[in-house]
Each structure stands twice: as structure tokens, then as C-alpha cells.
A and B are shown apart, each in its own frame.
Chain A
């Protein structure tokens, strides 16, 4: 039992390390943004119901720091785990597209689904993302 238990623990630890090492590829190529194009037209056309809510950006920023910054970086600049959200592709994406990506995740590439956040909270995050100034552009 002791030997078997220890072996299982060892295997588990090794699996954890392997899985983690494998799940951290470089995310600098632009192909990671191709997921944005996969949003169905109907989903991409959705309007942000909180687009005119004055608190949505601030609340979305709080949610971003809580749930997204670990992988996408505190300023959404990206990291080895996840792409920058300051990229032009993200700026050009419709709110509906960003909402669709948040809802469905990109499970194959390591982004979990975030439909566990209620819809208004996902829209708040979208409001925050749309408020960001893309890299290379000066704030207006």
C-alpha cells in the first residue's frame, strides 16, 4: 500500500509537471488570434448591453484582474501562457466576438470556458477590454 500510494503520488506529480510544461507554449504568433474569426456571425453581431453603463469598465477591470490577469498579464500585455489583448486583432474584434470567446474559451489552447461568470460580468469584462489602448497607439 505504501509503495503503491507513493508511486501514485509520484506519477501524479510528474503528470502535473509534464502537463504544465506542455501547456505553456510561446504565444507570440498571430495564429492564436485566428480563434476570433471562428465566432458565429450571430454571436459576433451581439451588442454589449452594458456598453453605456458608466461602471462597466471599472467593474470589468476588477474582474479582469481577478480572473484573467494571471495568464494575460496585469495590463493585458500577454505572457507565455496567453496572448496579448492589446493586439490590433482584439481591438478590431466586435464586443460580441470577445463575449463569445470568453463564454466558450479556447479549450484546445488552454483557455478555459468562462460561462461560469454570469453574462453581465462577461459583458463587463468585454467593456474593459474595449477600453484598452492597443500597443503602439497613444491613448486618446
Chain B
């Protein structure tokens, strides 16, 4: 029933009210923020999080896409849009809207996520912890692979959409994000625990990332191709089984170089070819993303509701 509502315009059925509201909200937010100034200094990671939160009052609108190869099934393109808002200097909240197209099958809206990150310590320390809490309501056809958990593997995304969309996940996800910046290097480690709120065991996963700008000093002129605008790095992520079978057995893992290009025009582009490291993994995942940060979004919304800015 719910899966039917998730279908996207142009396909078999007319869009439901939920889909229309989501699209109108997205378009409204984008239009509302076009006039705001923007700043960009983003990390290149697509899966890993470091301890840096969104600046207070800023909204970052992001679009990401993952092309995945599938050995026993059809290749797919999964995509998600993020609205990331810095509520305070220690709290960032974020809404995701997910979808996917499986080639020679169909296109589906696959659900939403609501993510919150809380900075636990006021100042910078040797290691900086951030607590991550996420609620997600996605169908079994969700293929964005934003995190790998438990025994996730290539076989999970092989089924036809018509079958996969009938399954639903009502999931709570916790992560401890640890990171540090040292001599220009950003090093981050994430430990993940996820629980499907139906009767499923806790599942675990990890992500590790390291990145560095190509130059540490800023140049005097505004420029598109200055080396400090490029941040390159690498991510390693995968599942760690579940409560009953913790470990690497029957899990999937990926190694993915990442690069981000922070343009002075306030856009950030990211690219990451990912390579499966074992037989359970997709052989290849090509991810890319584009984002723009809008400073002063919160103040603009506050003014809209009669508040002072």
C-alpha cells in the first residue's frame, strides 16, 4: 500500500499526495534560498562523516547519485536529495529524500530519512566525538547505499522493484563519529549500529575516511582551479554483521577514492568511484554529488514568521 504511494510521476500511477508535497517542499526550499548568499568548504566524503557540523543558520542543499553494477540483476541509479541545516553550532539536522531507477525495470521514490548530529564536546580535542541519530522509513527497493550495515550485500539489491518495494524498513540508526584534523589531513572513523524497529537484530557497520586539500594556504585571488579548492581522499566502509553473528563473515566492503571541488561560486562537486572488495560487494559504485550551501537561511525563515534576524 505504502509502496504504491512511493511511485514517481511519469510512471505507472499518478503521484500521491505525499510525493507531491515532497516535491513542492523541495522546490519551495530551493526557490526560497536562491536569493541567499552561499559559502562552501565541504569535505569530499560521501559515506563517512567527520565532526564538522553545518554552520548555524545555514542550509546545505545536496543531490547525490550512485550508479551501481549488479551481477545477478539489473544495474541501477539511486539518488537522494539532502536538506542539511545547522540548527546550532552543536546540532545539525538533515532530511533525505531517496529514489532509484533500476534499468529495464522502473523508477521509485523509496523513502525518507531524518538525521541529527550532535557535537558532544565544546572545544577541539585530540579526538572529536559527534553523536549521530537517524530515523529512516524506506522501502526494500532503496539502493542509495549511504551506509553498509550488517550483512548487506549485492544480492539484496538484485530483486525486481515490484517485489522489493513491498518490503519496508522502519529503522533507527546510531553512529559515533570520531575525527581529527592534523597537519591538513582530516581523519574520520564512524561506528554504526542500526535497528529495524520490527523484530530484527541490531546490525553494525563502519566507515573510515582520510582526506586533505591539495594546498593548505589560500591564494590571494578568487580562482576556480586553485589547488586549495580541491580536497582529495579515500573512504573504506562496510558491514560488521549483526548481534548474533558479529564480524566480517558474509559482509560487504568498499574502497572508494573521493574528490571534492569547492568552487568560489559556492557550489561543491564530488566524485567517488567505489570498488567492491569481496564477492558480496557490488563490483563498482560510481557516486557523484552537487551541493550548495546557503548562509542565513534560518534568519530568512525566521523573518518570514515575523521573527527578528
Same assembly: yes
Contact B218–A20 (Cβ < 8 Å): no
Kindly state whether residue B76 has any CB partner on chain A within 8 Å: no
Q: Do A124 and B218 have beta carbons less than 8 Å apart?
A: yes
Which chain B residues numbered 139 to 172 have a C-beta less than 8 Å away from chain A?
none
Evaluate contact between B309 and A24: CB separation under 8 angstroms: yes
Chain B residues with Cβ under 8 A from A8's Cβ?
114
CB-defined contacts of A24 to chain B, threshold 8 Å = 57, 299, 302, 308-309
Tell me if A's interface is mostly helix, strand, loop or mixed. Answer: helix
Tell me if B11 is interfacial: C-beta within 8 Å of chain A. no
Most buried by A among B217, B222, B295: B217
Q: Are B216 and A120 in contact (CB under 8 A)?
A: yes
Residue in B21, B85, B124, B184 whose CB lies within 8 Å of A16: B85
Per-position contact with A for B102-138: 1 when CB-CB < 8 Å, else 0? 0000000000101000010011100000000000010
A112: chain B residues within 8 A (beta carbon): 52-53, 55-56, 86, 89
Q: How far is the CA of A6 from the CA of B170 in the complex (A)?
A: 17
Find the B residue at minimum CB distance from A116: B52
Q: Given A70-B39, A116-B181, A120-B217, is A9 in contact with B124 using a C-beta cutoff of 8 Å? A: no
Task: Kindly list chain A residues whose C-beta atoms are within 8 Å of the C-beta of B217.
Answer: 50, 59, 118, 120-121, 124
Which of under 10, 10 to 19, 20 to 34, or 35 or more describes the interface residues of B? Answer: 35 or more
Contact of B119 among A19, A23, A107, A110 (CB under 8 A): A107
Contacts of A118 in B (CB 8 A): 184, 213, 216-217, 228
- Tell me the complex Cα distance, A60–B309, Å: 27
Which of A20, A66, A104 meets B57, CB within 8 Å? A20
Q: How far apart sit A50 and B308, CA to CA, in the bound complex (Å)?
A: 40
Q: 11 A-B pairs, CB-CB below 8 angstroms?
A: A2-B5, A2-B18, A9-B95, A17-B307, A20-B56, A55-B220, A81-B57, A107-B90, A107-B119, A112-B56, A113-B89
